[in-house]
Copies of this chain bind each other. A is one copy, B any other.
Protein backbone atom coordinates (compact mmCIF):
# COMPACT_ATOMS: atom_id res chain seq x y z
CA UNK A 1 0.00 0.00 0.00
CA UNK A 2 1.24 3.49 -0.86
CA UNK A 3 1.66 6.12 1.82
CA UNK A 4 -1.25 8.57 1.94
CA UNK A 5 -1.09 12.04 3.47
CA UNK A 6 -4.43 11.87 5.24
CA UNK A 7 -6.13 9.49 7.59
CA UNK A 8 -8.30 7.17 5.54
CA UNK A 9 -10.82 6.57 8.31
CA UNK A 10 -12.97 9.56 7.52
CA UNK A 11 -13.52 11.46 4.26
CA UNK A 12 -12.17 14.97 4.61
CA UNK A 13 -14.92 17.56 4.00
CA UNK A 14 -12.33 20.01 2.67
CA UNK A 15 -11.34 17.61 -0.11
CA UNK A 16 -13.28 17.29 -3.31
CA UNK A 17 -14.36 13.90 -4.62
CA UNK A 18 -14.00 12.14 -7.97
CA UNK A 19 -17.45 12.87 -9.37
CA UNK A 20 -17.03 16.62 -8.76
CA UNK A 21 -13.50 16.86 -10.10
CA UNK A 22 -14.79 18.57 -13.25
CA UNK A 23 -12.39 16.64 -15.48
CA UNK A 24 -12.93 14.00 -18.13
CA UNK A 25 -14.81 13.99 -21.41
CA UNK A 26 -17.68 16.40 -22.08
CA UNK A 27 -17.29 17.88 -18.62
CA UNK A 28 -19.10 21.08 -19.68
CA UNK A 29 -22.31 19.01 -19.55
CA UNK A 30 -21.48 15.67 -17.94
CA UNK A 31 -20.52 15.85 -14.27
CA UNK A 32 -19.87 12.18 -13.74
CA UNK A 33 -20.36 8.60 -14.91
CA UNK A 34 -21.42 5.97 -12.45
CA UNK A 35 -21.67 2.21 -12.61
CA UNK A 36 -23.35 0.05 -10.03
CA UNK A 37 -23.37 -3.72 -9.80
CA UNK A 38 -25.80 -5.51 -7.47
CA UNK A 39 -24.62 -8.87 -6.11
CA UNK A 40 -25.85 -11.28 -3.45
CA UNK A 41 -24.25 -14.24 -1.71
CA UNK A 42 -25.57 -17.65 -2.67
CA UNK A 43 -27.22 -19.53 0.17
CA UNK A 44 -27.87 -16.40 2.28
CA UNK A 45 -31.26 -14.70 2.63
CA UNK A 46 -31.69 -11.33 0.92
CA UNK A 47 -31.07 -8.43 3.31
CA UNK A 48 -34.74 -7.60 3.83
CA UNK A 49 -35.46 -11.26 4.69
CA UNK A 50 -32.38 -11.95 6.79
CA UNK A 51 -32.20 -12.07 10.58
CA UNK A 52 -29.71 -9.86 12.36
CA UNK A 53 -27.22 -12.75 12.88
CA UNK A 54 -27.53 -13.63 9.18
CA UNK A 55 -26.83 -10.02 8.19
CA UNK A 56 -23.89 -9.93 10.55
CA UNK A 57 -22.52 -13.07 8.93
CA UNK A 58 -22.90 -11.59 5.42
CA UNK A 59 -21.16 -8.43 6.61
CA UNK A 60 -18.24 -10.42 8.00
CA UNK A 61 -17.86 -12.58 4.88
CA UNK A 62 -17.89 -9.56 2.60
CA UNK A 63 -15.55 -7.55 4.75
CA UNK A 64 -12.98 -10.31 4.99
CA UNK A 65 -13.07 -10.84 1.22
CA UNK A 66 -12.62 -7.04 0.78
CA UNK A 67 -9.53 -7.34 2.98
CA UNK A 68 -8.17 -10.30 1.06
CA UNK A 69 -8.81 -8.67 -2.32
CA UNK A 70 -8.64 -4.93 -1.62
CA UNK A 71 -10.43 -2.57 -4.02
CA UNK A 72 -7.54 -0.08 -4.04
CA UNK A 73 -4.14 0.71 -2.55
CA UNK A 74 -5.73 2.47 0.44
CA UNK A 75 -9.20 1.56 1.52
CA UNK A 76 -11.31 2.91 4.36
CA UNK A 77 -13.92 0.71 5.94
CA UNK A 78 -16.94 2.09 7.80
CA UNK A 79 -19.16 -0.02 10.05
CA UNK A 80 -22.20 2.16 9.45
CA UNK A 81 -24.07 0.79 12.48
CA UNK A 82 -21.27 2.33 14.56
CA UNK A 83 -20.77 5.54 12.52
CA UNK A 84 -22.20 8.82 13.90
CA UNK A 85 -25.06 10.32 11.96
CA UNK A 86 -23.11 13.39 10.76
CA UNK A 87 -20.41 11.19 9.22
CA UNK A 88 -23.01 9.06 7.47
CA UNK A 89 -24.54 12.29 6.11
CA UNK A 90 -21.09 13.26 4.81
CA UNK A 91 -20.83 9.93 2.95
CA UNK A 92 -24.28 10.46 1.40
CA UNK A 93 -23.38 13.98 0.29
CA UNK A 94 -20.23 12.61 -1.35
CA UNK A 95 -22.39 9.98 -3.12
CA UNK A 96 -20.39 7.16 -1.50
CA UNK A 97 -23.43 5.55 0.12
CA UNK A 98 -27.16 5.87 -0.56
CA UNK A 99 -29.58 7.69 1.73
CA UNK A 100 -31.19 4.32 2.38
CA UNK A 101 -27.85 2.83 3.44
CA UNK A 102 -27.17 5.79 5.75
CA UNK A 103 -30.48 5.23 7.51
CA UNK A 104 -30.12 1.44 7.56
CA UNK A 105 -33.72 1.13 6.42
CA UNK A 106 -34.96 -1.23 3.76
CA UNK A 107 -37.48 -0.15 1.12
CA UNK A 108 -40.19 -1.88 3.21
CA UNK A 109 -39.21 0.37 6.17
CA UNK A 110 -37.74 -2.47 8.23
CA UNK A 111 -34.36 -1.93 9.87
CA UNK A 112 -32.78 1.18 11.36
CA UNK A 113 -29.46 2.87 12.14
CA UNK A 114 -28.04 -0.08 14.08
CA UNK A 115 -28.56 -2.67 11.34
CA UNK A 116 -25.23 -4.38 10.62
CA UNK A 117 -23.93 -2.85 7.40
CA UNK A 118 -20.86 -1.17 6.06
CA UNK A 119 -19.02 0.40 3.18
CA UNK A 120 -15.50 0.14 1.77
CA UNK A 121 -14.18 3.22 -0.04
CA UNK A 122 -10.96 3.76 -1.96
CA UNK A 123 -8.94 6.55 -0.40
CA UNK A 124 -8.40 9.37 -1.24
CA UNK A 125 -9.88 9.22 -4.76
CA UNK A 126 -13.27 7.81 -3.70
CA UNK A 127 -13.69 6.27 -7.14
CA UNK A 128 -14.81 2.88 -5.84
CA UNK A 129 -17.15 2.11 -2.99
CA UNK A 130 -18.70 -1.17 -2.00
CA UNK A 131 -21.81 -1.09 0.18
CA UNK A 132 -22.53 -4.22 2.20
CA UNK A 133 -26.12 -5.00 3.28
CA UNK A 134 -27.80 -2.16 1.45
CA UNK A 135 -30.76 -3.52 -0.56
CA UNK A 136 -28.46 -6.28 -1.84
CA UNK A 137 -25.62 -7.96 0.02
CA UNK A 138 -23.15 -6.11 -2.20
CA UNK A 139 -23.46 -2.95 -4.22
CA UNK A 140 -20.28 -2.16 -6.11
CA UNK A 141 -20.05 1.46 -7.23
CA UNK A 142 -17.48 2.90 -9.57
CA UNK A 143 -17.52 6.60 -10.41
CA UNK A 144 -15.55 8.85 -12.76
CA UNK A 145 -15.55 12.51 -13.59
CA UNK A 146 -16.98 13.38 -17.01
CA UNK A 147 -18.35 10.90 -19.53
CA UNK A 148 -16.44 7.64 -19.24
CA UNK A 149 -18.84 4.76 -18.80
CA UNK A 150 -16.63 2.13 -20.46
CA UNK A 151 -13.65 2.60 -18.13
CA UNK A 152 -15.93 3.09 -15.16
CA UNK A 153 -17.63 -0.21 -15.95
CA UNK A 154 -14.26 -1.92 -16.38
CA UNK A 155 -13.22 -0.69 -12.91
CA UNK A 156 -16.45 -2.03 -11.39
CA UNK A 157 -16.03 -5.36 -13.16
CA UNK A 158 -12.49 -5.69 -11.82
CA UNK A 159 -13.86 -5.28 -8.29
CA UNK A 160 -16.64 -7.74 -9.11
CA UNK A 161 -14.07 -10.32 -10.25
CA UNK A 162 -11.91 -9.76 -7.18
CA UNK A 163 -14.87 -10.26 -4.86
CA UNK A 164 -16.17 -13.25 -6.79
CA UNK A 165 -12.79 -14.96 -6.42
CA UNK A 166 -13.62 -15.55 -2.77
CA UNK A 167 -17.41 -15.27 -2.58
CA UNK A 168 -20.11 -17.39 -4.17
CA UNK A 169 -22.63 -15.06 -5.87
CA UNK A 170 -26.28 -16.01 -6.34
CA UNK A 171 -26.56 -16.62 -10.09
CA UNK A 172 -29.16 -18.35 -12.23
CA UNK A 173 -28.15 -19.68 -15.64
CA UNK A 174 -31.55 -18.55 -16.91
CA UNK A 175 -31.91 -15.10 -15.26
CA UNK A 176 -28.34 -14.10 -14.46
CA UNK A 177 -27.45 -12.45 -11.15
CA UNK A 178 -30.28 -12.65 -8.62
CA UNK A 179 -31.15 -9.47 -6.73
CA UNK A 180 -33.55 -8.40 -3.97
CA UNK A 181 -35.55 -6.28 -6.36
CA UNK A 182 -36.59 -7.96 -9.66
CA UNK A 183 -35.75 -4.77 -11.64
CA UNK A 184 -32.06 -5.47 -11.02
CA UNK A 185 -32.06 -9.18 -11.94
CA UNK A 186 -29.82 -10.16 -14.84
CA UNK A 187 -26.72 -8.02 -15.10
CA UNK A 188 -27.40 -6.25 -11.79
CA UNK A 189 -26.02 -3.28 -13.64
CA UNK A 190 -27.00 0.33 -13.48
CA UNK A 191 -25.18 2.79 -15.68
CA UNK A 192 -25.86 6.39 -14.89
CA UNK A 193 -24.56 9.81 -15.73
CA UNK A 194 -25.10 13.07 -13.91
CA UNK A 195 -25.86 15.80 -16.44
CA UNK A 196 -25.88 19.55 -15.90
CA UNK A 197 -28.65 20.95 -18.09
CA UNK A 198 -29.15 24.64 -17.23
CA UNK A 199 -29.44 25.64 -20.89
CA UNK A 200 -32.35 23.28 -21.52
CA UNK A 201 -34.07 24.45 -18.36
CA UNK A 202 -33.65 28.13 -19.29
CA UNK A 203 -35.15 27.63 -22.75
CA UNK A 204 -37.93 25.48 -21.28
CA UNK A 205 -37.01 22.17 -22.95
CA UNK A 206 -36.23 19.98 -19.95
CA UNK A 207 -39.54 18.17 -20.17
CA UNK A 208 -38.79 17.12 -23.75
CA UNK A 209 -35.59 15.46 -22.55
CA UNK A 210 -37.46 13.70 -19.76
CA UNK A 211 -40.10 12.39 -22.15
CA UNK A 212 -37.52 11.23 -24.69
CA UNK A 213 -35.60 9.44 -21.91
CA UNK A 214 -38.78 7.75 -20.74
CA UNK A 215 -39.50 6.57 -24.30
CA UNK A 216 -36.10 4.91 -24.29
CA UNK A 217 -36.74 3.19 -20.94
CA UNK A 218 -34.28 5.45 -19.16
CA UNK A 219 -34.87 6.79 -15.69
CA UNK A 220 -34.35 10.50 -14.95
CA UNK A 221 -33.58 11.25 -11.32
CA UNK A 222 -32.38 14.18 -9.21
CA UNK A 223 -29.09 15.07 -7.57
CA UNK A 224 -29.38 12.43 -4.86
CA UNK A 225 -30.73 9.59 -7.01
CA UNK A 226 -33.94 7.69 -6.53
CA UNK A 227 -36.80 9.81 -5.22
CA UNK A 228 -34.76 13.02 -5.07
CA UNK A 229 -35.73 16.21 -6.87
CA UNK A 230 -33.67 17.76 -9.60
CA UNK A 231 -31.89 20.65 -7.94
CA UNK A 232 -29.44 22.99 -9.54
CA UNK A 233 -30.32 21.69 -13.01
CA UNK A 234 -28.64 18.34 -12.32
CA UNK A 235 -30.25 15.22 -13.70
CA UNK A 236 -29.15 11.60 -13.42
CA UNK A 237 -30.01 9.53 -16.45
CA UNK A 238 -29.74 5.76 -16.11
CA UNK A 239 -30.88 2.48 -17.61
CA UNK A 240 -33.86 0.68 -16.19
CA UNK A 241 -33.46 -2.60 -18.07
CA UNK A 242 -31.10 -5.14 -16.56
CA UNK A 243 -32.55 -8.34 -17.98
CA UNK A 244 -32.00 -9.58 -21.54
CA UNK A 245 -29.41 -7.06 -22.68
CA UNK A 246 -25.70 -7.69 -22.21
CA UNK A 247 -23.63 -5.01 -20.44
CA UNK A 248 -21.89 -3.89 -23.61
CA UNK A 249 -25.19 -3.32 -25.44
CA UNK A 250 -26.57 -1.20 -22.60
CA UNK A 251 -23.32 0.73 -22.44
CA UNK A 252 -23.11 1.31 -26.17
CA UNK A 253 -26.71 2.55 -26.38
CA UNK A 254 -26.19 5.02 -23.56
CA UNK A 255 -22.66 6.25 -24.16
CA UNK A 256 -22.55 6.27 -27.97
CA UNK A 257 -26.14 6.85 -29.00
CA UNK A 258 -28.27 8.57 -26.40
CA UNK A 259 -25.93 10.74 -24.36
CA UNK A 260 -24.16 12.42 -27.28
CA UNK A 261 -27.56 13.63 -28.45
CA UNK A 262 -28.52 15.03 -25.03
CA UNK A 263 -25.11 16.70 -24.72
CA UNK A 264 -25.48 18.31 -28.16
CA UNK A 265 -29.01 19.40 -27.29
CA UNK A 266 -27.78 21.15 -24.12
CA UNK A 267 -24.87 22.76 -25.97
CA UNK A 268 -27.22 24.02 -28.68
CA UNK A 269 -29.46 25.52 -25.98
CA UNK A 270 -26.46 27.32 -24.44
CA UNK A 271 -25.35 28.53 -27.85
CA UNK A 272 -28.82 29.83 -28.62
CA UNK A 273 -28.88 31.66 -25.28
CA UNK A 274 -25.45 33.14 -25.97
CA UNK A 275 -26.38 34.42 -29.40
CA UNK A 276 -30.08 35.26 -29.30
CA UNK A 277 -30.71 35.95 -25.62
CA UNK A 278 -27.26 36.98 -24.53
CA UNK A 279 -28.30 39.79 -22.17
CA UNK A 280 -30.96 37.70 -20.46
CA UNK A 281 -28.53 34.82 -20.09
CA UNK A 282 -25.78 37.06 -18.70
CA UNK A 283 -28.31 38.71 -16.43
CA UNK A 284 -29.38 35.36 -14.97
CA UNK A 285 -25.78 34.21 -14.46
CA UNK A 286 -24.54 37.44 -12.91
CA UNK A 287 -27.58 37.83 -10.65
CA UNK A 288 -26.88 34.35 -9.32
CA UNK A 289 -23.30 35.40 -8.68
CA UNK A 290 -24.50 38.64 -7.06
CA UNK A 291 -26.76 36.84 -4.63
CA UNK A 292 -24.09 34.26 -3.76
CA UNK A 293 -21.49 37.00 -3.14
CA UNK A 294 -23.79 39.14 -0.99
CA UNK A 295 -26.47 37.09 0.79
CA UNK A 296 -26.19 36.57 4.53
CA UNK A 297 -28.52 33.55 4.73
CA UNK A 298 -28.73 30.76 2.20
CA UNK A 299 -30.56 27.42 1.97
CA UNK A 300 -29.01 24.37 0.28
CA UNK A 301 -31.59 24.44 -2.53
CA UNK A 302 -31.15 28.12 -3.33
CA UNK A 303 -27.40 27.76 -3.23
CA UNK A 304 -27.49 24.82 -5.67
CA UNK A 305 -29.71 26.76 -8.05
CA UNK A 306 -27.37 29.78 -8.10
CA UNK A 307 -24.22 27.62 -8.30
CA UNK A 308 -25.74 25.89 -11.31
CA UNK A 309 -25.99 29.23 -13.12
CA UNK A 310 -22.51 30.25 -12.00
CA UNK A 311 -21.18 26.92 -13.30
CA UNK A 312 -22.65 27.48 -16.75
CA UNK A 313 -21.33 31.06 -16.59
CA UNK A 314 -17.83 29.74 -15.95
CA UNK A 315 -18.08 27.06 -18.64
CA UNK A 316 -19.31 29.58 -21.25
CA UNK A 317 -16.64 32.13 -20.33
CA UNK A 318 -18.93 34.78 -18.78
CA UNK A 319 -17.22 34.48 -15.41
CA UNK A 320 -13.47 34.59 -15.63
CA UNK A 321 -12.17 34.43 -12.09
CA UNK A 322 -13.35 30.92 -11.21
CA UNK A 323 -12.79 27.36 -12.40
CA UNK A 324 -15.74 25.05 -12.73
CA UNK A 325 -14.17 22.52 -10.37
CA UNK A 326 -14.21 25.22 -7.67
CA UNK A 327 -17.92 25.69 -8.30
CA UNK A 328 -18.45 21.90 -8.21
CA UNK A 329 -16.58 21.69 -4.93
CA UNK A 330 -18.81 24.39 -3.41
CA UNK A 331 -21.84 22.27 -4.26
CA UNK A 332 -20.39 19.67 -1.92
CA UNK A 333 -19.09 22.00 0.79
CA UNK A 334 -22.45 23.75 1.16
CA UNK A 335 -24.31 20.52 1.93
CA UNK A 336 -25.45 20.33 5.58
CA UNK A 337 -23.11 17.50 6.64
CA UNK A 338 -20.05 19.08 5.08
CA UNK A 339 -20.84 22.49 6.54
CA UNK A 340 -21.10 21.03 10.02
CA UNK A 341 -17.90 19.02 9.76
CA UNK A 342 -16.11 22.14 8.49
CA UNK A 343 -17.52 24.11 11.44
CA UNK A 344 -16.44 21.33 13.80
CA UNK A 345 -19.83 21.19 15.53
CA UNK A 346 -23.53 20.65 14.99
CA UNK A 347 -25.31 23.67 13.55
CA UNK A 348 -29.02 24.36 13.66
CA UNK A 349 -30.84 25.36 10.50
CA UNK A 350 -30.30 29.13 10.95
CA UNK A 351 -26.62 28.61 11.75
CA UNK A 352 -26.21 26.45 8.66
CA UNK A 353 -27.80 29.12 6.47
CA UNK A 354 -25.48 31.71 7.94
CA UNK A 355 -22.37 29.51 7.60
CA UNK A 356 -23.33 28.53 4.04
CA UNK A 357 -23.76 32.16 2.97
CA UNK A 358 -20.43 33.09 4.54
CA UNK A 359 -18.60 30.22 2.89
CA UNK A 360 -20.04 31.13 -0.51
CA UNK A 361 -19.18 34.83 -0.12
CA UNK A 362 -15.64 34.02 0.92
CA UNK A 363 -15.00 31.55 -1.87
CA UNK A 364 -16.76 33.31 -4.73
CA UNK A 365 -16.03 37.01 -4.28
CA UNK A 366 -13.16 37.96 -6.60
CA UNK A 367 -10.04 38.82 -4.64
CA UNK A 368 -9.17 42.50 -4.88
What's the interface size class on A, roughly? 10 to 19
Q: A293-B294, A294-B293, A368-B368 are in contact. Are A350 and B279 (CB under 8 A)?
A: yes
Q: Which residues of B contact A181 (CB under 8 A)?
A: none
Closest to A291 in B: B290
Question: Are B280 and A287 neighbours in the complex by a CB distance under 8 Å?
Answer: no
Q: Would you give the 0/1 interface string for A269-298, flagging 1 where the beta carbon is closer than 8 Å to chain B?
A: 000000000011011001101111111110
A191 at the interface (CB under 8 A from B): no
Closest to A354 in B: B279
Residues of A73-106 whose CB lies within 8 A of B = none
Question: Are B357 and A283 neighbours in the complex by a CB distance under 8 Å?
Answer: yes
Residues of A within 8 A of B (CB): 279-280, 282-283, 286-287, 289-297, 350, 354, 357, 368
Q: Which residues of B contact A290 (CB under 8 A)?
A: 290-295
Could you tell me the distance between the alpha carbons of A12 and B282 in the complex, rounded to whole angstroms?
Answer: 32
Closest to A292 in B: B290
Question: Are A295 and B279 neighbours in the complex by a CB distance under 8 Å?
Answer: no
- Within 8 Å by CB of A279, from B289, B291, B292, B296, lies B296
Could you tell me the distance between the alpha carbons of A283 and B354 in the complex, rounded to whole angstroms?
Answer: 9
Question: Are A279 and B294 neighbours in the complex by a CB distance under 8 Å?
Answer: no
Could you tell me the distance between the alpha carbons of A160 and B292 in the complex, rounded to whole angstroms?
Answer: 55
Closest to A367 in B: B368
Question: Are A295 and B291 neighbours in the complex by a CB distance under 8 Å?
Answer: no
Closest to A368 in B: B368
- Within 8 Å by CB of A291, from B287, B297, B357, lies B287
Q: List 20 A-B contacts (CB under 8 A).
A: A279-B296, A279-B350, A279-B354, A280-B297, A283-B297, A283-B357, A286-B296, A287-B291, A287-B294, A287-B295, A287-B296, A289-B294, A290-B290, A290-B291, A290-B293, A290-B294, A290-B295, A291-B291, A293-B294, A368-B368
Could you tell me the distance between the alpha carbons of A368 and B366 in the complex, rounded to whole angstroms?
Answer: 11
Sort A-B residue pairs by CB-CB distance and give the 6 closest, nearest first: A290-B294, A290-B290, A283-B296, A286-B294, A283-B297, A282-B296
Q: Which residues of B contact A291 (CB under 8 A)?
A: 287, 290-291, 294
Q: Which residues of B contact A287 (CB under 8 A)?
A: 291, 294-296
How far apart are A198's CB and chain B's nearest CB, in angstroms? Answer: 16
Closest to A350 in B: B279
How far apart are A352's CB and chain B's nearest CB, in angstroms? Answer: 12
Could you tell me the distance between the alpha carbons of A292 and B290 in the complex, rounded to whole angstroms?
Answer: 8
Could you tell me the distance between the alpha carbons of A283 and B233 in the complex, rounded to whole angstroms?
Answer: 25
Closest to A282 in B: B296
Could you tell me the distance between the alpha carbons of A295 and B279 in the complex, rounded to whole angstroms?
Answer: 10
Closest to A280 in B: B297
